[in-house]
Amino acid sequence: MAYLFTSESVSEGHPDKVADQISDALIDNFLAFDAESKVACETLVTTGQVILAGEVKSSTYLDVQQIAREVIKKIGYTKSEYMFDADSCGILSAIHEQSADINQGVDRASKEEQGAGDQGMMFGYATNETENYMPLALDLSHALLIELANLRRENNEIKYLRPDAKSQVTLEYSDDNKPVRIDAIVISTQHDDFAAEAEMLAKIKSDLISILIPRIKAKYPQYAHLFNDNITYHINPTGKFVIGGPHGDTGLTGRKIIVDTYGGKGAHGGGAFSGKDPSKVDRSAAYATRHIAKNLVAAGLCDEILVQVSYAIGVAKPTSINVNTYGTAKVNMTDGEISKVVEGIFDMRPYFIEQRLKLRNPIYSETAAYGHMGRTPETVTKTFQLPNGAPKTVTVELFTWEKLDFVDNVKSAFGL
């Protein structure tokens, strides 16, 4: 029987995402000047205020206030009427030194035996329903907000947009689990104040359907056939949305973990990513399991897969590795047998994950909005500045866990 499935996304101006981006900017700056930094940084944003808290072990000193202001400015909170302005908001730092009790479980005389920074389980997921092996509803939800942000920055076709926004896409699937059409699209976007509320709400709905949607169809032609005349659009369904961002709703690091991963497909272990250095397996092992899942599906082992790994704090070797192919495996093996082969292909000890995916580089700011998974790997040059110091320029690879660099290994191991 046909069924519906829904995923959501939030924009870079959403208060929780503002917090994520500040936390990850701090991670990048610490790693740029001390690659061995251990950091767990949380951010809270509210009306006119930013509060930073967390634990750090690093040889470098940062101007955390200036870093936070630069992130807020880049997002677009640059006007006093937003009640959250990069130049005038208060910033309080309560960051302190990492607990020696935690650190002793991670650092080892031999780096290869580096222990996991915490216990827990992490999941990676992949499906062949999209070109980037991501769930389609989430992919479209992200795309809507990326293009909405582009329209806001262009300030040409639509001139009233503000940074905060959310989207949601509902897809209809056929009996054989194939997406056949978009059933509903929800977009709530913050906007400038106006006098005639009814007229402006009608204009926002008209603009998004007539300007945003055609841009999505043109940029993602592989999904154009899913759009139809029977889509139910809910555009700013609550009505007026002038008060938004951290003034409208307090934001915290790590509160959008489903948006960050697979939009409700597969599973999630519960651990957030932003603000954590790669010794925290909540982050590094989630990237590593996505890397495994994507390469397995790309190699043709299965159509869909969920990979789970688990750890004990301070122990290098995972306590378990498990895969679920949802009955789509193309080899005559059980999922348990596939798990054993996977374990031999991918070394899931924390140090080897860090090395394989080049995670001790300043690569995390780009992950903090529009999803950590399904992104395009690329090499970029970034510049960082210490207080009263010379700028440091580094070249890094982004989204290494999205590379299809183990497809041949998988095909060889499974005889594909």
pLDDT of 55:
94
Q: State the binding site for K(+).
A: 42
Cα–Cα separations (whole angstroms), residue 281 to 105, 238, 315, 323, 353: 13, 39, 11, 18, 9
Indicate whether 72 pLDDT > 60.
yes
Given this chain, do its domains 3-9+136-244 and 120-128+273-414 carry the same CATH topology? yes
Digit-coded pLDDT (tens) for 240-273: 999 999 999 999 999 999 999 999 999 999 999 9
376: DSSP letter? P
Cα–Cα separations (whole angstroms), residue 166 to 189, 213, 236, 250: 7, 15, 9, 15
CB 262 within 8 A of CB 119: no
The CA distance from 391 to 143, in Å, is 34
Q: Is 279 helix (H, G, I), strand (E, B) or coil?
A: coil
The better pLDDT of the pair 196, 361 is held by: 361
Indicate whether 1 pLDDT > 90.
no
Q: State the binding site.
A: 14, 16, 42, 55, 98, 164-166, 240-241, 249, 255-256, 272, 276, 280
What average pLDDT does the segment 297-315 reach? 97
- Binned at pLDDT 50, 70 and 90, residue 105 comes out as low
The CA distance from 30 to 24, in Å, is 10
pLDDT of 196:
83
What average pLDDT does the segment 375-379 reach? 98
pLDDT of 4:
97
Instruction: Output the CATH code of domain 3-9+136-244.
Output: 3.30.300.10
Digit-coded pLDDT (tens) for 340-352: 999 999 999 999 9
pLDDT of 99:
59
pLDDT of 109:
59
Q: Which amino acid is at 64?
A: V
pLDDT of 11:
98
Q: State the binding site for ATP.
A: 14, 164-166, 240-241, 249, 255-256, 272, 276
Report, in this order, helix, strand and coil percent for the chain, each rounded to 5.
35, 25, 40
The CA distance from 190 to 115, in Å, is 44
H or E element: which one contains 200?
A: helix 197-207
CB 335 within 8 A of CB 324: yes
CATH T-level topology, domain 120-128+273-414: GMP Synthetase; Chain A, domain 3 (3.30.300)
- Binned at pLDDT 50, 70 and 90, residue 110 comes out as low
> Is pTM beyond 0.85 here?
yes
Alpha carbon distance, N-terminus to C-terminus of the chain: 32
Q: Give the residue extent of every domain in the chain.
A: 3-9+136-244, 120-128+273-414
Q: State the binding site for L-methionine.
A: 55, 98, 249, 280
Q: Is 343 helix (H, G, I), strand (E, B) or coil?
A: helix
- Binned at pLDDT 50, 70 and 90, residue 94 comes out as very high
Cα-flanking dihedrals φ and ψ of residue 217, to 5°? -65, -35
Buried b vs exposed e over 25-57: b needs ≥16 C-beta within 10 Å? bbbbbbbbbbeebbbbbbbbbbeeebbbbbbbb
pLDDT of 303:
97
Label residue 298 left, alpha or beta by phi (over 0 means left) and psi (-120 to 50 means alpha): alpha
What average pLDDT does the segment 57-76 reach? 95
Angle, helices 15-33 vs 64-75, to 10°: value is: 130
pLDDT of 162:
97
How long, in residues, is the chain?
A: 416
The CA distance from 265 to 262, in Å, is 5
The percent of residues in the chain predicted with pLDDT above 90, rounded, is: 89
CB 413 within 8 A of CB 344: yes
What average pLDDT does the segment 216-239 reach? 95
Q: State the binding site for Mg(2+).
A: 16
The CA distance from 43 to 68, in Å, is 10
